[in-house]
Structure formats: C-alpha cells, structure tokens
Structure 1
C-alpha cells in the first residue's frame, strides 16, 4: 500500500475547548464508527479539539525540540547552548547543514499536516450534520474555527517551505492523497480566504470557559501577518496587500485587547498572567493527565541555564544583549529597557539586590562570570525546576505584535508620522522615552529594534529577517556564516513526502 505517513489521522487524546480541563479525556472521533459519530454538538466540538491538538507538537520534549529548536536556531538573536550541541539533528539546524532527510523539519511538516487534516475533517463532517442538533449559530462557528486552524497550519507550512501541498478537503480515498506542490500565490490566497472567513464568523473575544479558542481577533491578526509578509514577497502588488493588511489590523478589530502593564509582562511567559488582555492566541497547557491526556512540556528545562538546574539548550546571543543595551540606561526608572530585565538575567546591580535578585540569591552568587541567560519561560521560584514538566501556557500571538505590524504597514505606506505614536506607546509601557527620528528609514529601523526586544524567544525573528531580506547579513554580524539564502531561506521538502507523494518531483 502507498505510504501515507504524512496524512494518517492518528487517534489522539485531544484538548477540549471549554471548561479547559474538562475536555482532556476526549478522543479523536475519526474511528471505524465515524459515520455514526457526527450526530451531536458535543461530538462536533470534540472533533474540533483534534484540530487544536497539533499545536502541541506531541507535548513533552517534542514541544521544545520541534518548535524551539527549528525556528530560533535559524536566527541571530539566539545561540545554541551546550544542552543542544551534542545532538546532530539540532546542530544541523543551527549550522545550516540540514537536508531533505533531516528529522526536525519532517516533524514540523507532519504535525502541521495532521493539524490541517483534522481541520478539514471538521469542516467536512460538521458541515454535513443536521443543523437542528446545534445551538443557534454554533454549527457555523465550529466550521469557522476549523477554517482558522486550517489557515494557521497552512501558513506555518508556507512560512517554512517555499512551496507546500495545499489540502483543500478532507481525504477519504487513496486517490486523493497524491497532490502536487501548489504555487506560492495560490497557497497565500487559500490562507487569506480561510482567515477572512473566520474573522467574519467568530466572536472577537472569548469567555473564561472558552480560553484558547480562536476569535475574530486572532483571525485578523494572522490575516494581517499573512498580508504583510506577502507585500514583501510580491512587490508588484505591495500596495494592494498593505492596504488589505491595514484593514485587518485596524483597532476596531481588536476591541477588548490591550497591552498589559510592564509589571505583568513577564507573567505572560511564566504562568502567572495567562490569557491576559494582551493574549490573542495562546496554547493552553494543563497538568491534568486523566484519560492519558498529555498537555505539558519541558520548556523550563530547555531554556534554563545549567546553573539554574536546566539543560541550557538555548541562550541569548551577544547580538540580543547588545540590542537591549544599545540605548543605554535611559529608561524613566534609571536602567535599561524594562523588557531586558524581564527577558534576561544578566550581570547588573539590578539582579544583585537592587532591587531584585534571582530566586532569592544575587546574580553573582549563581553566576561566577557575566553570563546572560533567559528569564522568559522560567518558573518564578527555584522549586519550579523540581518538576520534570510544566504546564505554563505558550503565547503565539499578542496585541503588541498587532501594534507593531500596524506600525510597519503604516510606515511602508509612507506614513511614518502615524507609525511613530504606536511605537512610542510600546516604549512607554517598557518605561522608555519616545523614539528619536521621524523619517521612514528611522521608523523602519526602530520597528526592527522593537520587534527584537519585545519578542525575544517568541520565534518571529527569522521570519522578520527573511521578510526584510536581511537573514544573511544579520547572521554574519554575529559570526554565523553558514547561511545561503538560495538554500536556506526555506526548508527542503521532506524526503518522506517526496517518496510517498507521486505528484512531487525531486
């Protein structure tokens, strides 16, 4: 039988969508009795759970290896730590020596295709259900959520591969499996269409019982991101895409979202301020393990330094530290940008008791040299490192990103005067003075700086650099010379897909 590993609908115990932990025992519905399963609203919601489940990349160690190796190791603000340096499949990403047979890109490909396959299943099955079994508007809403997830998974693929197989429908026969790689503009059109549909049908915000579920705000945020990215790729249509991005990212589409105060900023990344007013799309992890559910990860070990009891798989680069420090101690509090203190632990009076320290001890007691390490994704106390796994949520999209994308769109539309106040609002949150300069070039440079210091370790930087055509120069600036844009701007189509899909040519 033809190999179809990339399209198998693996039976999963999947995360449910209301009551947060109540749904952790729900099973994937696509079993031998599939024809009898899709008869109730509860069944439709559990089917939707399967679409969300692939955000977890399998959970546990898989989550950080597949997501927090493959993406950050290709950028300049991250260094590979000793916890990763002994593993060839990780070092190949950092050194750009991977190929079509490399395992990490293949896993990313698989998880995203499984996710969009589950999404297509919901769109197909729920669309055919009797409307009478649903609460008013719920059938349409579930389909809209599935289309958001389908757009999201397709976009993750298209950000990493130059061409992908667009899967428009749920596969029910072997004849539908083989399919050629789609033209890039066709893939973008498909993604945009799904996000637009979801934005038109979903509520703008969610209540406590629906934490983590997609909203029209999430759909508009990713729609704006897709269109902004596309405006750089298809320069002949740049104005068209910028105009559409501005429409998606306008403030009216994000009513109810706002920046959290700086003293709550770190909480978005250490479990103390989850699903905040700034959160637009956030992966919901849970310590619950009933029914063999597994929605925990090991990011705290992956990120924490050896001194703090972690594996030290990932470290800030010298470039990131320099970027944080380049304006000097000009904040209204008398120090560096407040985001630096919430992103990193580093040698400074601030962490030697004036006013903070590191888990109850001064920085100099933990670290004998000047060694900046990440503070993001680290527990708030040393006791947090005692658990093998953590259930702290992971942010995927927040309102600060919407603001900076909006500023970038306005600036590229030759309106730096409209972009500057947005930038300054983010800087004020970080206790920083307003930016200097007002030209388009100066605002463009400031946007890059703000995206670096705001989103360190949030996996946007590589895509930012590629959008701006700056990956090679940025990597060379931190001493990494292995990047060849013609080979490494995008990942290679996995060999497993080439071997199993008769419509893809080598």
Structure 2
C-alpha cells in the first residue's frame, strides 16, 4: 500500500504526540542538509534534529513492511490473507507462495539501505552531541544520547531480525569495508542501546515533549530484544544456516530469558506507579490516543498528518468502489478466539457451529467483522448473497476489493470515520503495548521455570480480557497457551511472522499448506458455513528464509561483507 505520510518540514509525528517545531528558525531546507553549525549551535535546533529521527517508527506502522508497496507481514502467516493476486497490493501473496523469489539480488524483505542511512545519521548526531553541541548541560546530553540510542536500537532490531549477522557501527567511520558481527554480538549491541536508554530517559515528558521515548518504552524494547535473542539460542541451534556468524549459543538461552524477564519487571514497576495499565475495553485501545496500554506509539493528527489504514482495510460498503480491502482475517485466526467462558471454540460442536459468532470472547468482536456484525449503522452480509461486500473466491478477480475469507479486519478501524476518502485516518500506531510486556514476561518466566510468575502475567492479561485463568500447568502447556494469547491479543500488530521465525516454526506452519476462510451461504432463515481455501497455491517457507540475504549490491560495495552462507 502507498505511503501517505507527508514530508514535513516543521512537524514530526513521534510516538505518543505531535511535536511541533514552529519555534525553529530553520524551515527552508531539509534536516539532512543542515550544516553542523546550524544544528548544534543552540538547543532548539538540536531538539528539532532529534525529533526528526523519530520518523523511523512510521516505517513499520500497522505491521507493514516495504515489499514494493507496504504489505502487512501478517499476510505471510496463518492469520491474514491479502485479497489481491497482482504485484503491488498482492506482493505479499506472491512472496508467501514462492520462496524462490527471495535472492541476494532481490531479498524482497529489505531494510538494509534505509536502516543504515538512519544509523549513519544517528551516529552523526551522537558525535555532534559529544563534540559540537552548545547550550546543553550534562544531563540534557545524556538524555539526547539515550533518545538517539533508543532509535538506533530499534533500527538494528529490524536489521538483525532479518539477517541475524549485520555490520555493527557504534560511531561514524570513514572505512568503506566493514565486516558482519556475530549474531549474538548484534543482540547484545541492541540490548546495550536500549539498556542505556532505559537508564537515562525520563519516566514521562511534559506536554510539549509528549511522545518522545521514555524509560518504559526503552525497557519494553529491551525485554523484546532479550526474548528474541533467547529464542534464537533455544530454537535455532545452527540447524538452518551454515554461516559461522549466525545463531546464538544455546547455553545462553537461560541467561537471556532471565534478562527479558528482568526488563519486563522494570516496566511492571512503572505500571505499579500508575504509568501503564491494561484497558478494560479492548476495542478502545486502538482508537483512544490516551490509552494507558501504550508504552510507545506514533500519533497522527488531521488534516496534515494522516494515514490510510481505514481506506485500506474497511469493509467494501464503507466507500463502494474506493475501499481497497487489502487484507482479511483467515479462518485459522477466527477459530483461535475462545468462547466467553474460556472454552475452546469448535465447529465440531453442533451448538457452536449453529451460531458461530455468539458468546465469543470480547477480543473477537473487537478484532473481527463477520457476517451479522453491526458496523456503521448496518448489518454486514459477508455471505455469497452480497455481490459488493460478501464472500468471493480468491483468484476469481485479480484485485476483488472484498473479502475472500468471509471476514474483515475490525481492529484499528475507526467506527466514527464515515468518510475515510476525504478524512483519511488518524488512529495511533502503537509500537509497544503493556499487554505485550506481560506476554514477554510470561514466556521468559516459563523458560526459566518460574511457572508461578508466568501464570501471574498471563492470567493478569486474560482476566482483564474477561477470561478465566489458564488451565495450563506444565511448561509445554504454558507455551501453547502463550502462543495462543499472542495470536489473538496481538493479531494484525505485526508480530505473528516474526514469532514463528524466532520459534523456528515458520518452516512447519507456513510451508506446504493452504489457509482457509468460511464461505457463508444463505439457507432460508439461517446461514451455513463451509471451510474453503483462501490460497490457490501452497504456501512456501524454506529454512533458508530464517536469514534473509544481504542485498547483493551491498556485498559488492563492501569488500569485508561476505554474503550469508546459503545465498
């Protein structure tokens, strides 16, 4: 999908709030063209420059990834299906079913050039902060360094998720040839950046600076980082790449899980102080700009700073002929949601199958629009009887702009936005929620055999969502419960693909399989549902994809940068 964020000169969208730079005198040239004297001669310009770095967080908003158009990585998994089969809107479908398209010449999931451009600018800022900045006391310099390292940690987090072993640059260098570092060193580098940020960032900012990185955001990202590193240590075990630099030693798993739990505990302490909390109304989290679940978010504000998520994912009749219906939920996701009493939904249960959308847990109706849903003053008809909004078989049209699974995404949509073509959208993108921290804590504690602590975090989340305590007891049962919770709690937030990769389950779950939808057919006063494929070709995920190749032109320019083995 197209990127709709404007190129802003005086205003930057940053996590949690809009930071306006109207007081800045420099409005005649792009920030990356400022001279050192202009940037560092006074604190106002230094602030403006730092705020510009936050734009990196819009790159992956709403779970997207630059695959030609921005396509959602959830559509590479079992929880979402993109409706188009053509390059552009349907690039993610093409990639999901053809692993051979990934190569060094065309990595498909590529962030290398963009990421290192941002790293270079961050390192320039850090050097300038140390050697040229005027008008800042020692505390202010530490805070700016912490902000810059927070952003740098985020950039490197994405690079390492993709490639495992990457070039680590902690300062500016004129050296053209720089080698890759060991994957273990990369995760530790990222962790060091987030740990420094957690130590030196404030718990909160004043209203003028609201939205800048905080201590809670840094510790949340630190917990996420250590969880990923620990997962690679436990699950990879050099089974999927012969490259000497990829992988994390298995013996480090327990220590890294412990680090993840410790970082999560720091966020939980802040929550105990009242800074964060779980919302009782799940649906409100994603349209309430003041939600206490958000540790870090990117805000938008009409009319200048908007996005197009509603136009991309709303049901077809919200704007007939104009809504794009990029991606829709799969039956696999729909069936994951529990009943309101915590029991498992099953089509084999005659009573459940007769009325499949009744008595489901609250997150279901907040995440999924289904046949019979009430939406913007109408009742959705997603059966074959509705030629505009109802089910159509995937592949019958190259770009149908309607559901191919019998469902639409509700999560993130603004129910009050009745003219998204003109209004566009201004919902916040929440990069990290308190719910994720609890799930990280639960998973990490299972792995260090703190089952009681794991249950406390998992049940805190479940109870807030109106569900009973988990019945799980053993570590294996707890992990299955946590995976389930991550699917339903974090659906469409861009986690599922990366979870399956870090657990080294993607080559099992996403390979040689076709995912499904529910085709609704009117039958008198009732509707019958048939499970049908939403794929017209088998999905493909080969083990080599756990480490995406480095772009070929980068290895040609850098003589010290060998390609990851296997590519």
User: Shift of the alpha carbon at 1:382?
Assistant: 5.2
Please, what TM-score do these two structures have when normalized by structure 2?
0.76
* Superposition map of 1:451-490 within 5 A: 451-476=486-511, 479=514, 481-490=538-547
Question: Between Structure 1 and Structure 2, whose CA radius of gyration is higher?
Answer: 2
* Superposition map of 1:161-172 within 5 A: 161-171=163-173
User: Shift of the alpha carbon at 1:305?
Assistant: 3.6
1:354 paired residue number: none
Are the counterparts in 2 of residues 163 and 182 from structure 1 also a CA contact under 8 Å?
Answer: yes
1:276 paired residue number: 291
1:335 paired residue number: 359
Structure 2 residue runs of 5 or longer lacking an equivalent are: 1-6, 234-249, 344-356, 392-404, 516-537
Are the counterparts in 2 of residues 12 and 50 from structure 1 also a CA contact under 8 Å?
Answer: no
Cα distance in 2 between the residues matched to 1:141 and 1:318: 47
Are the counterparts in 2 of residues 76 and 317 from structure 1 also a CA contact under 8 Å?
Answer: yes
Are the counterparts in 2 of residues 83 and 313 from structure 1 also a CA contact under 8 Å?
Answer: no
* Superposition map of 1:198-213 within 5 A: 198-213=197-212
Which residue of the other structure, out of 314, 319, 334, is the alignment partner of 1:321?
334
User: Shift of the alpha carbon at 1:245?
Assistant: 1.6
Are the counterparts in 1 of residues 376 and 418 from structure 2 also a CA contact under 8 Å?
Answer: no
Cα distance in 2 between the residues matched to 1:154 and 1:47: 20
Q: What does the per-residue CA deviation read over 1:147-170, in whole Å, with 9 as the maximum and x for residues that have no partner?
A: 111111101111111222222223
Which residue of the other structure, out of 152, 159, 162, is the alignment partner of 1:160?
162
- SS of alignment partner, residue 20 of structure 1: strand
User: Shift of the alpha carbon at 1:493?
Assistant: 1.1
Question: Could you say if the C-alpha distance between residues 402 and 273 of structure 1 is closer, same or farther in structure 2, counting changes exceeding 3 Å?
Answer: same
2:132 paired residue number: 129
User: Shift of the alpha carbon at 1:89?
Assistant: 3.9
Q: Is 2:364 aligned against 1:347? A: no
Cα distance in 1 between the residues matched to 2:35 and 2:199: 33
Question: Could you say if the C-alpha distance between residues 102 and 385 of structure 1 is closer, same or farther in structure 2, counting changes exceeding 3 Å?
Answer: farther
- SS of alignment partner, residue 73 of structure 1: helix
1:424 paired residue number: 459
Are the counterparts in 1 of residues 17 and 299 from structure 2 also a CA contact under 8 Å?
Answer: no
Question: Could you say if the C-alpha distance between residues 86 and 253 of structure 1 is closer, same or farther in structure 2, counting changes exceeding 3 Å?
Answer: closer
Cα distance in 2 between the residues matched to 1:382 and 1:19: 20
Cα distance in 2 between the residues matched to 1:85 and 1:59: 21
User: Shift of the alpha carbon at 1:476?
Assistant: 4.3
Cα distance in 2 between the residues matched to 1:482 and 1:99: 17
User: Shift of the alpha carbon at 1:19?
Assistant: 7.3
Q: What does the per-residue CA deviation read over 1:19-71, in whole Å, with 9 as the maximum and x for residues that have no partner?
A: 725237866544263244311111111111221122223999x9776795252
Cα distance in 2 between the residues matched to 1:228 and 1:80: 29
Q: Looking at secondary structure, tell me which structure has more strand per residue.
A: 2
1:496 paired residue number: 553
Which residue of the other structure, out of 263, 267, 285, is the alignment partner of 2:284?
267
Question: Could you say if the C-alpha distance between residues 286 and 478 of structure 1 is closer, same or farther in structure 2, counting changes exceeding 3 Å?
Answer: farther
Cα distance in 2 between the residues matched to 1:306 and 1:84: 19
User: Shift of the alpha carbon at 1:478?
Assistant: 5.2
1:188 paired residue number: 187
- SS of alignment partner, residue 69 of structure 1: strand
- SS of alignment partner, residue 295 of structure 2: strand
Question: Could you say if the C-alpha distance between residues 85 and 416 of structure 1 is closer, same or farther in structure 2, counting changes exceeding 3 Å?
Answer: farther
Are the counterparts in 1 of residues 157 and 225 from structure 2 also a CA contact under 8 Å?
Answer: yes
- SS of alignment partner, residue 112 of structure 1: helix
- SS of alignment partner, residue 547 of structure 2: coil
Are the counterparts in 1 of residues 18 and 300 from structure 2 also a CA contact under 8 Å?
Answer: no
Aligned positions, number: 475
1:37 paired residue number: 39
User: Shift of the alpha carbon at 1:335?
Assistant: 1.7
Structure 1 residue runs of 5 or longer lacking an equivalent are: 1-9, 290-294, 352-356
Q: Which moved more, 1:28-37 or 1:377-386?
A: 28-37
Question: Could you say if the C-alpha distance between residues 213 and 70 of structure 1 is closer, same or farther in structure 2, counting changes exceeding 3 Å?
Answer: same
Are the counterparts in 1 of residues 10 and 21 from structure 2 also a CA contact under 8 Å?
Answer: no
Which residue of the other structure, out of 308, 313, 320, is the alignment partner of 1:303?
313
Cα distance in 2 between the residues matched to 1:266 and 1:66: 31
Cα distance in 2 between the residues matched to 1:12 and 1:492: 35
Question: Could you say if the C-alpha distance between residues 466 and 244 of structure 1 is closer, same or farther in structure 2, counting changes exceeding 3 Å?
Answer: same
- SS of alignment partner, residue 383 of structure 1: coil
Q: Is 2:200 aligned against 1:143? A: no
User: Shift of the alpha carbon at 1:199?
Assistant: 0.7
- SS of alignment partner, residue 165 of structure 1: coil
Cα distance in 1 between the residues matched to 2:68 and 2:539: 21
Question: Could you say if the C-alpha distance between residues 229 and 59 of structure 1 is closer, same or farther in structure 2, counting changes exceeding 3 Å?
Answer: closer
2:178 paired residue number: 179
Q: Is 2:381 aligned against 1:364? A: yes
Cα distance in 2 between the residues matched to 1:87 and 1:412: 39
User: Shift of the alpha carbon at 1:225?
Assistant: 1.1
User: Shift of the alpha carbon at 1:130?
Assistant: 4.8
Q: Which moved more, 1:371-380 or 1:113-122?
A: 113-122
